[in-house]
Amino acid sequence: MKQITTPITDDVIRDLKVGDAVALSGMMVTGRDAVHKWMMETFIKKTRAPQGDDLQVYEELKKLLNGSVIYHCGPVVSGLDTKEYKFVAAGPTTSIREEPYQADVMKHFNLKGVIGKGGMGAKTLKGCEETPAVYFHAIGGAASYIAQTVTKVHGVFKMDFGVPEAIWVIEVKEFPVVVTMDSHGGSQHAVVDASSKKVLEELMTR
């Protein structure tokens, strides 16, 4: 298993291939649907004017995400009243929902990795080649185990999105993932889709 710490360099990313098992350590942030749409509309496509603390959060995210990782996760968090936050469950959410946004977000923030489950499509794969970046597949159904790799919650932005959709800034140690989309055009998800389609077509002709 390869040990990788954020921030991650382009050389490290280009050395990763589909099938590589990785233990991630360092800083990362969580981001789901609301976060990706907010990033796109406010700062990338600029179809929405910044409001409230948008600009302040954006400047912080530029520093946090540069060379780092965004995790598609809707965590269960304790300590909300005292702000002594702790991740109780931190399983990956389905990534394909972010397909319209992910490539643009990766390029804009110089993201080196995206963590989620289920894989992503052709637009994100192209973004992985161009940025460069990789897609890390996390284990679905292991939310409490993954939460144990979160050693510290440094803070949270956009709590008005709701706890699962907020931007959580976390530090992890040896977070287990597998590279399933790399910066060379490799996608295990595309391979599985093609082989499944072939089996389905054979079944339909019987």
What is the spatial distance between Cα 40 and Cα 4, in angstroms, rounded to a whole number?
28
Tokens matching residue 78: 């304790």
How far is the CA of 6 from the CAs of 55, 70, 101, 179, 184, in angstroms?
24, 11, 22, 16, 21
**Cβ count near 19 (within 10 Å):** 11
Residues with a catalytic annotation lie at 36
Question: Computed from CA positions of residues 9, 96, 91, 16, in that sequence, does the dihedral angle turn out positive or negative?
Answer: negative
How far is the CA of 91 from the CAs of 16, 115, 160, 164, 199, in angstroms?
23, 10, 21, 11, 30
Given a contact cutoff of 8 angstroms between Cβ atoms, the answer to whether 95 and 73 are in contact is no
Given a contact cutoff of 8 angstroms between Cβ atoms, the answer to whether 91 and 114 are in contact is no
